[in-house]
């Protein structure tokens, strides 16, 4: 059992790490010279990703040398039996960042026994710092935040995204995007899962769903939404499993309605892989 005092310490270190990575991203903004694809079209990595991750890892490892780490660029380190796992995305929204589109973040989350328990997300473009830990609430720039009160899909503004394998699978979220666009006041595609979840937590958006994600995309944002009074689950409202890569996160009022809307969607055959 982790005490509130321990969670607060973890949160403070997560914050230090996220800010360190964010400072690197601010330095590289608009000055990139090395942009590469990691495999699939659009899956980019830059020198900013790598430098930000190095800064984040330096902070985490200085304070917690025995903790396990799962980082997007360098992979997993530490014992598989360690119950404390840091899930780190040094630049969530690399494509946005490379184009200087202002939707990106450093995401530093801590899983305890597989459960997202601490999170810090820093938006280096707008200098927005989101923080949360189990039982300690959620904040934006040190002020409490909470999810929206929107109660119907017809009044809602949602957000989603499209995974890098969207050209290779019929399960690409295109049909869901179109369907929900007709049922709501709009569906945005932000390009950063961390920012999307932070905006749900702060009430700027009412709900979010996506597939094809990694633990480092979700760990910090899940804690934010839950601590801000929202709900996080699988698409079918079953328990959220971070390894599934799928998430349904809303203000709570829309969880069932959004789940049911997604369940009734059939893929768009015209976008099926050849």
Residue 11 host element (H or E): helix 4-28
pLDDT of res. 274? 67
Residue 142 class from Cβ within 10 Å (0-12 exposed, 13-18 middle, 19+ buried)? exposed
Token duo for residue 224: 């934010």
pLDDT of res. 20? 98
The band of 270, judged by pLDDT with boundaries at 50, 70 and 90, is: confident
Angle between helices 255-263 and 174-183 (to 10 degrees): 130
Q: Which residue has the tokens 């404390």?
A: 84
Write down the pTM of the prediction.
0.95
- Mean pLDDT for 169-193 is 95
Residues 110 and 191 in one domain: no
- Domain end call among 111, 144, 177: 144
Residue 272 has pLDDT above 80, yes or no: no
| CATH value at residue 133 | 3.30.540.10
First to last CA, the chain: 51
pLDDT of res. 39? 67
d(CA 171, CA 223): 27
- Mean pLDDT for 122-141 is 98
Domain span at residue 159?
A: 153-271
pLDDT of res. 271? 75
- Domain end call among 144, 172, 190: 144
Q: What is the pLDDT of residues 1-20, one digit of tens each?
A: 899 999 999 999 999 999 99
pLDDT of res. 34? 80
Taking alpha carbons only, the member of 182, 177, 195 closest to residue 128 is 195
Q: What is the pLDDT of residues 36-88, one digit of tens each?
A: 887 666 677 889 999 999 999 999 999 999 999 999 999 999 888 999 999 99
Residues 34 and 157 in one domain: no
Residues 194 and 213 in one domain: yes
Q: What is the pLDDT of residues 207-245, one digit of tens each?
A: 999 999 999 999 999 999 999 999 999 999 999 999 999
The tally of domains found in the chain comes to: 2
């Amino acid at each position: 059992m982790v005490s509130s005092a321990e969670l607060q310490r973890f949160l403070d270190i997560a914050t230090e790490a996220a800010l360190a990575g964010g400072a690197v991203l601010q330095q590289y903004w608009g000055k990139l010279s090395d942009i590469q694809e990691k495999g699939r079209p659009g899956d980019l990595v830059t020198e900013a990703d790598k430098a930000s991750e190095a800064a984040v890892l330096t902070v985490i490892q200085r304070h917690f040398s025995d903790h396990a780490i799962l980082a997007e660029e360098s992979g997993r380190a530490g014992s598989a039996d360690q119950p404390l796992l840091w899930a780190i995305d040094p630049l969530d929204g690399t494509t946005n960042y490379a184009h200087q589109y202002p939707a990106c973040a450093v995401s530093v989350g801590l899983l305890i026994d597989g459960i997202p328990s601490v999170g810090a997300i820093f938006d280096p473009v707008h200098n927005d710092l989101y923080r949360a830990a189990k039982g300690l609430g959620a904040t934006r720039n040190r002020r409490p935040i909470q999810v929206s009160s929107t109660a119907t899909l017809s009044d809602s503004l949602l957000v989603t995204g499209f995974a890098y394998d969207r050209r290779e699978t019929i399960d690409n979220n295109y049909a869901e995007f179109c369907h929900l666009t007709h049922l709501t006041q709009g569906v945005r595609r932000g390009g950063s899962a961390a920012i999307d979840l932070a905006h749900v937590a702060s009430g700027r958006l009412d709900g979010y769903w996506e597939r094809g994600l990694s633990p480092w995309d979700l760990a910090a944002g899940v804690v934010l939404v839950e601590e801000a009074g929202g709900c996080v689950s699988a698409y079918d409202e079953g328990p959220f499993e971070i390894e599934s890569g799928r998430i349904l996160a809303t203000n709570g009022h829309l969880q069932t309605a959004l789940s049911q809307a997604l369940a009734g969607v059939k893929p768009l055959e015209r976008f099926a892989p050849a």
